[in-house]
Amino acid sequence: MATGLKKADGQRWHFDIYALLEGAQELYFGHEVQVNVNLVELVKVRRPNGEEVEKCYLSPTKRRGVERRTLLWAPTGDGQLLGDRWNCGIPKTCAKQECPVCNVYGGLITKDEKDRKRTTFIGRLTHGGGVAIQAQAPEEKQRAMHPSDIRRGGDSGEPTPFRRQYNQPGLLYPVYNHCLSVTDGEFQPVAYAFQDSLARIGAGNPKGVRISSHDGTPLLVFDRYLVPKGERPILSPSLEDSEKACEEFLRAARHVEGKERQTSHISTDNFERWSGQEALNKLAEFADSFVNEVLKKS
């Protein structure tokens, strides 16, 4: 079956973003609710000695949703939001290839409507990682509940005590974004969303993570390629030492074609890699192009 994608104006590439994110404060990313307690998402990891440990988890699915909303709420030059311009939202997507959001994130229309036919537009962006490095359990705290969420118990009219789990500050989360067969122009909103979403990750307040650094170098790698010649800086979920995790990330970032490279920009046939500040600058360049060529256009 054909993909249904229109012919691109230029070369299509594969793009990868690898980053080690750090929680700058306690963080809640909702998972499920027990009696009066909101729980965060945890995963079980088996250590090399066979022992199981639970780790906090920055869900790739939830992170994808934050990125998509960042694009839908992006301001345009005519005073609209990007989602309103394309009549695209969550869960009601427009599923049009021309839409800069659905073009890479995909779209779904579940039934025929007056002006929309049922369709599935397959996304070309996938998200991975999210298992925290440190095996630090979440803390449970009592917080003031928003008035609209207060649940009253019995006939007393008093609000039920409300508690919530939080991932603790300083946890490191290796995360990965992978784009399949997109042009430089199609990748622009991905770069914009990745960077703009960092301050908005989390449910409720507080929100936000940052790109962690090691000796002043941002722990970030960005690849554009047709052939994956670089070692992928994907960390084992069994790692628990943050220093070793940073060192392993940087070691993998330096290895291309089986050789250690000492430059932060590596270019070879069908493969290009930017690391550290160079990667951050290159992603910002793509994001700038998206703002100037898409968002600022009336």
Asked if the structure places residue 149 within a domain, the reply is: no
Helix, strand, coil: what percent of the chain each, to 5? 25, 30, 45
Whole-number pLDDT of residue 29:
84
Asked if the structure places residue 152 within a domain, the reply is: no
Q: How far apart are CA 275 and CA 164, in angstroms?
A: 37
Q: How far apart are CA 12 and CA 6, in angstroms?
A: 12
Mean pLDDT across the chain, nearest whole number?
Answer: 90
Among 54-63, 105-114, 182-191, 213-222, the range scoring the smallest mean pLDDT is: 105-114
| CA distances for 54 relative to 46, 98, 137, 240, 252, angstroms | 9, 43, 7, 11, 26
Q: Is 195 helix (H, G, I), strand (E, B) or coil?
A: helix
Handedness of CA 171, 172, 173, 177 (dihedral sign): positive
Residue of 47 and 17 predicted with greater confidence? 17
pLDDT band for 39, please (50, 70, 90 cuts): confident
With vertex at residue 175, the alpha carbon angle to CA 141 and CA 277, rounded to the nearest 5 degrees, is 110
Whole-number pLDDT of residue 293:
96
- Asked if the model's pLDDT at residue 153 lies above 50, the reply is no
8 A C-beta contact, residue 123 and residue 178: no
8 A C-beta contact, residue 237 and residue 197: no
Asked if the structure places residue 179 within a domain, the reply is: yes
pTM, to two decimals: 0.91
Whole-number pLDDT of residue 164:
86
- Asked if the model's pLDDT at residue 161 lies above 70, the reply is no
pLDDT band for 37, please (50, 70, 90 cuts): confident
DSSP 28: -
pLDDT tens digits for range 276-287: 999 999 999 999
8 A C-beta contact, residue 206 and residue 164: no
Asked if the structure places residue 32 within a domain, the reply is: yes
Q: Smallest Cα–Cα separation from 233: which of 254, 264, 207?
A: 254
For residues 90-111, give the mean pLDDT. Answer: 93
- Asked if the model's pLDDT at residue 154 lies above 70, the reply is no
For residues 114-134, give the mean pLDDT. Answer: 91
- Asked if the model's pLDDT at residue 151 lies above 80, the reply is no
- Asked if the model's pLDDT at residue 150 lies above 50, the reply is no
Q: Cβ–Cβ contacts within 10 Å for residue 55, how many?
A: 22
Residue of 63 and 4 predicted with greater confidence? 63
Asked if the structure places residue 8 within a domain, the reply is: no
Q: How far apart are CA 135 and CA 148, in angstroms?
A: 35
Asked if the structure places residue 229 within a domain, the reply is: yes
Asked if the structure places residue 80 within a domain, the reply is: yes
For residues 190-206, give the mean pLDDT. Answer: 93
Asked if the structure places residue 99 within a domain, the reply is: yes
| Helix intervals (H) in the chain | 60-72, 82-85, 102-105, 184-197, 242-253, 276-290
| CA distances for 256 relative to 111, 217, 271, angstroms | 47, 19, 9
Write out the two tokens for 136.
């630090």
Residue of 3 and 157 predicted with greater confidence? 3
Q: Which domain holds residue 93?
A: 13-143+161-295
Q: How far apart are CA 235 and CA 15, in angstroms?
A: 18
The structural domain count of the chain equals 1
Q: Cβ–Cβ contacts within 10 Å for residue 86, how many?
A: 18
For residues 7-18, give the mean pLDDT. Answer: 95
pLDDT tens digits for range 255-283: 999 999 999 999 999 999 999 999 999 99
